[in-house]
């Protein structure tokens, strides 16, 4: 079985949206879940959070940033090309219910997985305040979609080119300091953002949820590759998560485990970038 790409576009520099025909995955998808794809039988398996799904069209959208060899290969694929595997939906769906006012925070590429949650929390009857941020205005993704789906949208850029000049966490702090009654905060983005957000919201006593992105292999609880420590207990992000109580996550362990294969990843990427150079000797698994 293969999965046809029916739409592909670059939505920010090196950030791509891909809509894939996968009716069974679309039918079963819920906000907060992810898929694992493989380009062909020799490729690495990569987990990506579902950015949108359309049951009528039978499509699932993913958004990814070109970071390593596989995402660079994925970025070169076009409409009508086919992916070998597209497995999902995986993970436990987000616990979306009517709570009151919720703040949904997306940092950088993390805005993509926040988008289906914004829609789900609003559909469940919540007031949704979205806060999105990026290094600069050109890297902000899904701004129009987030605006349409939220009751309020706040923007932050690190360089001040749009919205608040600073981090998304500054904006969340301002909202908390305004005294508005916030029932829950959901934060998705780079691990350092989630760590800083967890530390910032803890003194306010507001429930804070993060979506963790450790290294994943099988995505079904078999390999242990995605283990994280939450409240002193080992959890598998692929089946117990990916969402967890931010105030209980050991972010330092998450970040050190994410860095474990950095040397291999850089070597692989270097091999991929030199694959047309006849004098270059491949040092990664061989298949480029
Ligand atoms: P980035 O580094 O550009 O940061 C995006 C935003 O996060 C910043 O604009 C800022 O508002 C906030 N932020 C960053 N550092 C912060 C800090 N120290 N304190 C407070 N706020 C901070 O992000 P990017 O390059 O788009 O993101 C790439 C990373 O996001 C990758 O590591 C990727 O794996 C991760 N990611 C995670 C998920 C997930 O499910 N958790 C989903 C997509 C991407
Ligand atoms: Fe293997 Fe989670 S990815 S146990």
For residue 118, what is the domain's CATH number? 3.40.50.80
> How many C-beta neighbours within 10 Å does residue 72 have?
14
pLDDT in tens, 150-199: 999 999 999 999 999 999 999 999 999 999 999 999 999 999 999 999 99
The token pair that represents 23 in the structure block: 């009716």
Q: How far apart are CA 20 and CA 187, in angstroms?
A: 26
* pLDDT, tens only, 202-223: 999 999 999 998 888 888 899 9
Ligand 1 pocket test, pick from 16, 139, 193, 238 with the greatest ligand atom count within 8 Å of Cβ, gives: 193
pLDDT at 288: 33
Ligand 2 neighbour 217 (Cβ under 6 A): yes
Question: For residue 37, which of 72, 2, 81 has the smallest C-alpha distance?
Answer: 2
| pLDDT for 274 beyond 70 | no
Give the span between the Cα atoms of 183 and 181, in whole angstroms: 7
- 83 and 107 in one domain? no
Last-in-domain residue among 33, 65, 90:
90
Average pLDDT over residues 220-232: 92
The percentage of residues in the chain with a pLDDT greater than 90, rounded to a whole number, is 79
Does the structure show a pLDDT above 60 at 281? no
pLDDT digit string (tens) for 82-126?
Answer: 999 999 999 999 999 999 999 999 999 999 999 999 999 999 999
Q: What is the pLDDT of residues 231-250, one digit of tens each?
A: 999 999 999 999 999 999 99
Do 114 and 232 sit in the same domain of this protein? yes
Please report which ligand is nearest the Cα atom of 166: 1
Please enumerate, as own/partner, the contacts of 155-160 that have beta carbons within 8 Å and a separation of 24 or more: 155/131, 156/131, 156/132, 157/133, 158/133, 158/134, 159/135
Which numbered ligand comes closest to the C-alpha of 228?
A: 2
Q: Let me know if residue 136 belongs to a domain.
A: yes
CATH code, domain carrying 23 = 2.40.30.10
- Provide the whole-model pTM: 0.90
Report CA(1)–ligand 1 centroid distance (Å): 34
Residues 81 and 129 in one domain: no
Both 169 and 68 in one domain: the answer is no
* Distance separating alpha carbons of residues 114 and 116, to the nearest angstrom: 6
Residue with tokens 């998304």: 168
CA pair distance 258, 264, nearest whole angstrom: 12
Ligand 1, atom 6: closest residue by C-alpha? 107
Domain count, the chain: 2
Question: For residue 233, what are the domain limits?
Answer: 101-258
Residue 164 Cα to ligand 2 midpoint, Å, equals 38
Domain boundary among 90, 124, 158: 90
């Amino acid at each position: 079985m293969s999965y046809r790409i029916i739409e592909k576009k670059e939505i920010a520099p090196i950030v791509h949206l891909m809509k894939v025909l996968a009716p069974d995955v679309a039918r079963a998808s819920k906000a907060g879940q992810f898929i694992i794809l493989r380009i062909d039988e020799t490729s690495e398996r990569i987990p990506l959070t579902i950015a949108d799904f359309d049951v009528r069209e039978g499509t699932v959208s993913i958004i990814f940033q070109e970071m390593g060899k596989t995402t660079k290969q994925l970025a070169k694929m076009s409409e009508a090309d086919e992916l070998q595997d597209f497995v999902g939906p995986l993970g436990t769906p987000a616990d979306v219910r009517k709570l009151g006012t919720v703040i949904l925070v997306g940092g950088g590429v993390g805005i993509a997985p926040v988008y289906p949650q914004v829609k789900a929390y609003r559909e469940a009857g919540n007031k949704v305040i979205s806060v999105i941020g990026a290094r600069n205005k050109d890297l902000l993704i899904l701004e129009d979609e987030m605006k349409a789906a939220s009751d309020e949208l706040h923007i932050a850029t690190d360089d001040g080119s749009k919205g608040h000049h600073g981090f998304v966490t500054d904006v969340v702090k301002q909202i908390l300091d305004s005294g508005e009654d916030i029932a829950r905060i959901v934060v998705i983005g780079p691990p350092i953002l989630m760590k800083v957000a967890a530390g910032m919201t803890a003194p306010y006593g507001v429930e804070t949820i993060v979506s963790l992105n450790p290294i994943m292999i099988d995505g079904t609880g078999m390999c242990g590759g995605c283990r994280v420590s939450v409240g002193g207990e080992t959890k598998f992000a692929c089946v117990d998560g990916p969402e967890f109580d931010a105030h209980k996550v050991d972010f330092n362990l998450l970040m050190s485990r994410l860095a474990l294969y950095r040397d291999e990843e850089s070597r692989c990427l270097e091999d991929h970038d030199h694959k047309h150079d006849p004098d270059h000797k491949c040092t990664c698994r061989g298949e480029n």
